[in-house]
Amino acid sequence: MSAVEVAAVPATRGFTAPLRFLGSELSLIARRRRNQAGLAVLASVPIIVAIAVRVSNPTSSGSGDGGPEFLSSITGNGIFVALAALALELQLFLPIAVAAVAGDAIAGEANVGTLRYLLTVPVHRTRLLAVKYVGIVVGTFIATVTVAGTGVLAGLLLFGGGDVTLLSGTTIGMGEGLLRLLAICLYLTACLAALGAVGLFVSTLTEQPMGATIAIVMFNMISWILGLIPQIEWLHPYLLTHWWNSFGDLLRDPVAWDPLRNGLLSAAAYIVIFLSAAWARFGTRDVTS
């Protein structure tokens, strides 16, 4: 596994070594069957949404109130399949994808006994952690873009494109609509990367990748559940997931930047705290497997 590949990397102090290490990490993530299957599941949601809307409601425009977000706009423009799918997958599916990769990062290597070989290569522990985290962030971005990209493709095939109606009722061209969708993907990647940082920390605590993954998903769900309880409203802005739905603010005219800025600040705070905690934990840990 990765130990073998990394062992092939010459232990030089050159500039290319870290990049090659990252490359091997990324290809490791990409070649895992479970990750490929997970990506396929993520991509299936927008396809299901598009087909379901197409089959059940071929002519009428919008079903009014109720139902998941953006669903009523899909018949008008296929790009909304991507937005509906992102909104649907944001609570559980995307976090599970992040948790699967992040939980595996350290605990997975420890579990199959490759972690100590990795460290004897020699790869500095801090660099190993950094490469693992970059791998998580790239994986998160790919997951998000897969959902959005599949959604756009399925939507355009079944419903066609055209001008995009924003939440504020104004319309923009298709090109700008796609740009805003890309911005949403980047914003969600930043948000989910915060969960990835929590995950990397959890992954340094255990040698059971499954346990780490479950713990990360539970952390995510607890955050969502706490966000639903109105009695603890004072706590909500500090929850990991509180600002995730603010991606909709990129669809207003003009864009409401304040919630987005708060969301990025919140994500940055989580990333700094949990990455440094992961670094402290991993640096002091006895690696025996």
Judged by the rule CB under 8 A, the positions of this chain that interact with another protein are 61-62, 64-66, 69-70, 72-73, 75-77, 87, 162-163, 165, 167-171, 230, 233, 245, 248-249, 252, 254, 256, 258, 269, 272-274, 276-277, 279-280, 283-284
In this structure, which amino acid lies at residue 59? T
To another protein, the closest distance from the beta carbon of 23 in angstroms equals 26
Whichever of 5 and 69 has its CB closer to another protein, that residue is 69
Whichever of 3 and 87 has its CB closer to another protein, that residue is 87
Q: How many CB atoms lie within 10 A of CB 254?
A: 8
Alpha-carbon distance of 276 to 202, in angstroms, equals: 12
Whichever of 28 and 106 has its CB closer to another protein, that residue is 106
Whichever of 49 and 87 has its CB closer to another protein, that residue is 87
To another protein, the closest distance from the beta carbon of 28 in angstroms equals 27
Tallying the residues shown for the chain, one arrives at 289
Contact predicate 288/206, CB 8 Å: no
Look up residue 287 and give its two tokens. 């690696």
To another protein, the closest distance from the beta carbon of 82 in angstroms equals 14
DSSP letters along 112-175, please? TT-HHHHHHSS--HHHHHHHHHHHHHHHHHHHHHHHHHHHHHHHHHHH---PEEPTTS-EE-HH
Whichever of 12 and 60 has its CB closer to another protein, that residue is 60
To another protein, the closest distance from the beta carbon of 251 in angstroms equals 8
